[in-house]
Amino acid sequence: MAQQGVLLDQDQFCCSVCLDLLKEPVAIPCGHSYCRSCIEGCWDQDVLKGVYSCPQCRQTFSPRPTLSKNNMLAEVVEKLKKTGLQAAPPPAVCYAGPRDVACDVCTGTRKQKALMSCLACLASYCETHLQPHYESPAFKKHKMVKATAQLQEKICSHHDKLLEVYCRTDQQCICYLCTMDEHKGHDTVSAAAERTEKQRQLGMSQQKVQQRFQEREKELKELQQAVESLKVSIVDQRRHTISPVPSSQREREREVEGPLSNPTDPTVGNRLSLLRQ
């Protein structure tokens, strides 16, 4: 039980960026602590923006805060290392593949796979760095979606707001600020309502197509049956119209044709004369 308590304490002294025991720990103005190299690596990516944020609570700072070593925290970490006990094993790491969305907070050459994207922060988070959005009240109203690499496509390029309104007049998604200027007075609905309506219309169109297909299939079967019936009728008609030759007629034909088969017969000439008459 004592060892389990140490493991729990070690978890409290792990950097949320590298998920390892803190190395040269520093505290930033919001109170969270990180390895110096980890937080500097995160902030180096925000130099052009000029605004720096905490990877956990996303509190922003400007200008860039000066980092000072937290000596007390560093001593505690060193004592934990000297006990010979290792930190509790971190959960299985799922690194982002070529087709995955990488976590925007993870540092290093290999980043973890992002699970969700925040439309308010315009960032994607892995399981570890996603926790503040579930735990901190500051993030409760942030809209989260399944991790996507096309975050900018969901944001208005004019106002940097979420595209949550659909303009039926111009047939495009807009933000709520757009409804007050260039789309003022247009026929607009929420993007969710328009999506529901489009899905309903699509379902009706599919039903109509399926119904027409079934009708055409029925007509084809009826046509095939009519063709087969016509074939049977033609065969029956032929059988009734082509009757056998009467036997008396066949005997008369033999009487006439028999002598003709022998040209030397003296009666052939007489019979031919009779036939010509």
- State phi, psi for 69 to the nearest 5 degrees: -65, 135
CATH architecture label of 91-154: Irregular (4.10)
The CATH homologous superfamily for domain 155-224 is: Classic Zinc Finger (3.30.160.60)
Please report the pLDDT score of residue 174 as a whole number: 92
Q: What is the DSSP string of 129-196?
A: HHHHHHH-GGGTT--EEE--S-GGGGB-TTT--B--EEETTTTEEE-TTGGGTTTTTS-EEEHHHHHH
| CA quadruple 259, 264, 270, 272: dihedral, nearest 10 | 60
Q: Report the run of H or E that residue 237 belongs to, with start and end.
A: helix 191-241
Q: What is the pTM of this model?
A: 0.40
pLDDT tens digit sequence for 75-95 = 888 877 776 554 455 555 677
Is it true that 1-88 and 155-224 share their CATH fold? no
Evaluated on CA atoms 240, 241, 244, 247, the torsion sign reads positive
**Any idea which architecture 1-88 has in CATH?**
2-Layer Sandwich (3.30)
Name the more confident of 192 and 239.
192
Residue spans of the domains in the chain: they are: 1-88, 91-154, 155-224
Q: What's the pLDDT at 170? A: 93
**Tens digit of each residue's pLDDT (9 = 90 or more) over 200-257:** 999 999 999 999 999 999 999 999 999 999 988 888 888 777 655 556 656 665 665 5
